[in-house]
Every structure is written in C-alpha cells, then in structure tokens.
Amino acid sequence: MLHIQEAIVVEGRYDKNTLSQVVDTLILETGGFQIFKDPEKMALLRRAAERRGLIVLTDSDGAGFVIRNRIRGVIPARFLKHAYIPDIYGKERRKRQPGKEGKLGVEGMPPAILEDVLRRAGAAFLKEDAPERQNSPPITKADLFAAGLSGGPDSAVKRQALLKRLALPEHMSANALLAVLNGCYSREEAEEILKDA
C-alpha cells in the first residue's frame, strides 16, 4: 500500500474502490457529472486541495476530460496535480458493454499503471514509517460517538450543524465525515473541531 500526501479525486465509486487497493489517502468522488450541480462537493474538493493538494485522476474519455476541466476551472492550479491514465481499449469486468469510446477507465487499470501515473503526476509519496503517522492516531468512530456526532438520538442534527460550519456537503455520512477529518486535518485540528461540535 502506497501512502501519498495529496487527496485524489476520481469520477465514481468503482474508481475509488480500485484506487483504494493501491494508495492510502483521502479519495473523493465527483459522482460523474453531479459535480456540476453540487457546489458543496466542489467546496469539499477545494478544501482538500488547499489543505493537502489534490490529484485529479479521471478516465481518459471525453467525459473524464470535461470533469477534469471543470475542476481545473474552479480550483487554483497551485493546488492541483493531474494524473492521466493511458488509452487502453477494452471493458471492465463488471460491465456488459465497453464504454462509449471503448476505453478502460480508472477502475479497469492494473495497480502498476495507477502507481506509475501517480508518480508521473508528481504525487508526494510518504514513507511507511513517517513520524506523523506514528504519533497521530486517526480519529475513529468512537471519537465521533463521544462528540455526539454518530449513534445518538440527536447525532444527525449535530452532524448537520458541524457540516454546515465546516462548509461540507450536508448529505455526508458519519463515515464520510470521518474520512475528511482524518484526510484534511491534523489530529489536533480534528480534536478541536470535535470539541466545538
């Protein structure tokens, strides 16, 4: 498993599933073209980009480039890196038919190719034994529970208030909030956020 500094944005959940088997970092989804109608999700991408950098990894078809260009137009270039998968023709195992252009998407890429495209994009690879990973255990579901943000009678309301305060999408689940707290904030910053929840 490769550990990288930047967050990565992909188009959908199958891309995320494939990539999460290769890298350990915050992986966000655009939901395809949903990103065009979701200013909160774009705000989340901007937040991740400003906090740790953002690698855009979309499919190599026309739709992937439209999504990539939308992100490029909204988030300053100094926070972005672009990873491009090669044009490999075929179809993903889960699909009956190949895509419109006949190319494999991120979900169809072998791990070695994904690692290579991330390296070529300039991803900041962290060492396995980086001190910040050893000294900073991640925020857990138990921490969210203790802060009243999950598992309690008013936890959904409290979580909604926190999401609004952090300018995050209102439909984020407790698990998604956990990923953002661990991916965009240091342990100390996340603890402060939970204290004020």
- Residue 128 is predicted with a pLDDT of 53
- Residue 110 is predicted with a pLDDT of 93
Query: Which residues, in sequence order, are bridge partners of residue 22?
Result: none
Please give the full DSSP string across 97-161, using - where no structure is assigned: S--TT-B--GGGS-HHHHHHHHHHHT--EEPTT-HHHHH-PPP-HHHHHHTTSSSSTTHHHHHHH
Residue closest to 30 by CA, chosen among 2, 65, 5: 65
Do residues 56 and 35 lie in contact, with contact meaning Cβ atoms separated by under 8 Å? Answer: no
- Residue 89 is predicted with a pLDDT of 87
Residues (pLDDT < 70) of the chain are 128-136, 169, 171
How many angstroms separate the Cα of 79 from the Cα of each of 53, 71, 86, 88, 133? 5, 11, 23, 28, 23
How many angstroms separate the Cα of 170 from the Cα of each of 43, 104, 143? 12, 33, 20
What token pair was written down for 29?
């989804």
- Residue 131 is predicted with a pLDDT of 45
CA separation for the pair 151, 78 (Å, rounded): 39
CA separation for the pair 29, 34 (Å, rounded): 10
Q: What angle do CA 73, 74, 77 make, to 5 degrees?
A: 70
